[in-house]
Chains A and B, each alone.
Chain A
Amino acid sequence: MNFFDQVPALQIAVPLIGAPVCVLLRNGRAAWAVTQFCSVICTLLSCMLVAATRDGTVIRYELGSWSAPSGIEYYVDIVNASVLLVVSFISAIVCLYAYRGAEKEIQQDKHYLFYTGWLLCITGLLGIVITGDAFNAFVFLEISSLATYLLISLGPDRNSLTAAFRYLIMGSIGASFILIGVGFLFAATGSLNMADISARIPIADSPRTVLVAFSFLTVGLMIKAAIFPLHAWLANAYHYAPVTVTALLSGTATKVSLYLLLRFFFNVFGIQFSFGQMLLNYVLLPAAIAGFVLMSVVALYQSDLRRMLAYSSVAQIGYIVAGICLVSPLGISAGIVHIINHALIKSALFMATGCIVYRLGHAHIQSLGGMAKQMPITTAAFIASGLSLIGVPLTAGFISKFNLIAAMLEQGWWIGAALILASSLMATLYIGRVVEIMIFRKPRTSTGTLEVNEAPMQMLIPLWLLIALSIVFGIFGNETLSIASAGAERLLTGPLAPALVPESAYLSTGAGQ
């Protein structure tokens, strides 16, 4: 038995075993060490998977050696290998940050439970990405969701409890919709394996059942991914959760749901069905565009930094969805690149916010005057990642926005491209407003000075690591782009398995448009 063959299973097993170990240790520091260790191992494992799938190889791992349609299989190609890497890498970096970042926000005696929840959340997220079984994806989705409710409710403010409860209601409705969708898919095709389903959908007896399954899955995943009209849970959850948790979730949770959306639309239902027959681009694209325009405006009027960034996240998800809806190789690769880049950028921004909250105890935008003098490194970090969010050249954000606009123009969507530029301008305004207060305003305290020190090194180092990476990705953007375009190619090939139907007519049409 080769070690490499077991990598897909280890990806899930490592954090899953780590979680009960944290409970048994009953010690915050030890639990942190376990979490850090598991996250680093997962990152290394997913690096191996990315390296192995770079050339278009597909790894199909049969869990417990039960062969595919009846057993659960893990299906790894370049699309989900890169998402696995993003999730585990963000977890590793934010965990390093949590060593100091979580100590003030979360009661000392709850630390080991906090890290248990963390590991379970990561297990669930990695599981959703790696699995090739539709029902298994639902189970992992619920594992990660339940852990997320727990993590959010640990916030320092009592409002975090109500935020977690509201997310629980919304999230469970979303997950239930996905469950109904999977159920109808099973009724239509008699299979739960994604590859098998994708081969059977074209020959299914009742197209109406497939249609119902498709609608339920779309709505459920839209709730989970916080796509514009269904994003209501996100603002409160990101605002009141511990900032460390927000930094973790903003880079991982919504991205994973977006990945699942991609997988279902392109590989399970097929491009012809999702975008040709269902006219999904006429439903999702307006929602995405309305999302990034309106949410950028809403972000402008927020008084709390965390809330502002939360609305900005919804806007950025709009960019990703808009890229996907173009159904062109360039558009999809722009979407995937932005999934990677936005995970880095938004986590960095929330980590910088966390440094401010660590010292000030709050993040009111109006009372951040004098920050640049007292916490210069944090302020610089905020500005650097803010510039990346806006999409200034030499940052990661530029690469994804440039490609997105290029993809829009390729289709002749001038209005869409103009709206992206307009919403970037609004991003400049809402980031600029905060930076202006940080640098030029006087502190709003009675003495006129802000008595805070720079955030601890253990928090600044991971923060700057992320920023450095986002600048590297900005300068050497070809590396991420090549992964993303390989992923886009993979998604555009249609079903996961060779179709049972003899003619490949329905496969080939969508790719070129």
Chain B
Amino acid sequence: MLNFLALYNYWVVIVLMMAGLYIMIARHNLVKKLIGLSIFQTSIFYLYISMGKVSGGTAPILIGKISHEKEKAGSATSAAAEQITTVVYSNPLPHVLILTAIVVGVATTAVGLALIVRINEEYGSIEEDDIRAMEQRDPV
């Protein structure tokens, strides 16, 4: 049970992901399908962000001054020895990555909505069943 709770962030991701996939499959309204896609993509954002969390770590913001302790173990003599900070912080890289993915997601949603507007202009409907019926009547 504790193990289950400790991984709650992944359960949130899984629930959101499945909800998104289900909406995409089960709903016939094109806008709802797109909302499903957005939920699906959002779940991936959560996955990345929770992955970057280091337990006990703070936000990756420079606090105070950097301590100039040289790393004790290993090659302390090397000139490129890293300057380590005393502050434990979360990994910022997944956050940066996910900013890019959010932009991509927004662009996808925008293209999808633009297509829905055009579909509505041409077919007069955004219900997949109606559209399919009209497609079948169209001379191919």
Contact = CB atoms under 8 A, between A and B. Distances in A.
Interface of A: 135, 138-139, 142, 146, 149-150, 153, 157-159, 161-162, 164-165, 168-169, 172-173, 176, 179-180, 183, 186-187, 192, 303-304
B111 A176 contact: no
B28 interface: no
Given A169-B24, A169-B33, A176-B44, A159 B138 contact: yes
Given A150-B111, A162-B135, A173-B21, 12 more contacts: A142-B107, A146-B107, A146-B111, A157-B138, A169-B24, A169-B34, A173-B40, A176-B40, A179-B101, A183-B47, A183-B51, A187-B51
Nearest to B101: A179
B117 to A, nearest CB: 10
Interface string B32-52: 011001001100100110010
Nearest to A145: B108
Contact of B24 (A138, A146, A157, A173): A173
B94 A186 contact: yes
Q: Is the interface of B mostly helix, strand, loop or mixed?
A: helix
Contacts of A180: 44, 47
Contacts of A176: 40-41, 44
11 contacts: A138-B101, A153-B118, A158-B122, A161-B118, A161-B119, A168-B108, A169-B37, A173-B21, A176-B41, A176-B44, A186-B51
B116 A165 contact: yes
B88 interface: no
Given A162-B131, A179-B44, A142 B140 contact: no
Contacts of B44: 176, 179-180, 183
A303 B21 CA distance: 33
A172 B108 contact: yes
B7 to A, nearest CB: 13
A169 B128 CA distance: 13
B107 A172 contact: no
A303 B139 CA distance: 12
Interface in B89-115: 93-94, 97, 100-101, 104, 107-108, 111-112, 115
A149 B116 CA distance: 12
B30 interface: yes
Nearest to A70: B93
Interface string B115-140: 11011001100000001000100101
Complex A-B, nearest 7 residue pairs according to Cβ-Cβ distance, in ascending order: A158-B122, A142-B104, A165-B115, A161-B119, A187-B51, A161-B118, A183-B48
A352 B11 CA distance: 52
Contacts of A168: 108, 111-112, 115
A219 to B, nearest CB: 12
A158 B41 contact: no
A142 B51 contact: no
Nearest to A153: B115
Contacts of B115: 149, 153, 161, 164-165, 168
A149 B131 contact: no
Nearest to A167: B115
Nearest to A147: B111
B41 A172 contact: yes
Contacts of A186: 51, 93-94, 97
A180 B44 CA distance: 7
A192 B96 CA distance: 13
Nearest to A164: B115
A39 to B, nearest CB: 24
A139 B101 CA distance: 8
A139 B108 CA distance: 12
Contacts of A173: 21, 24, 37, 40
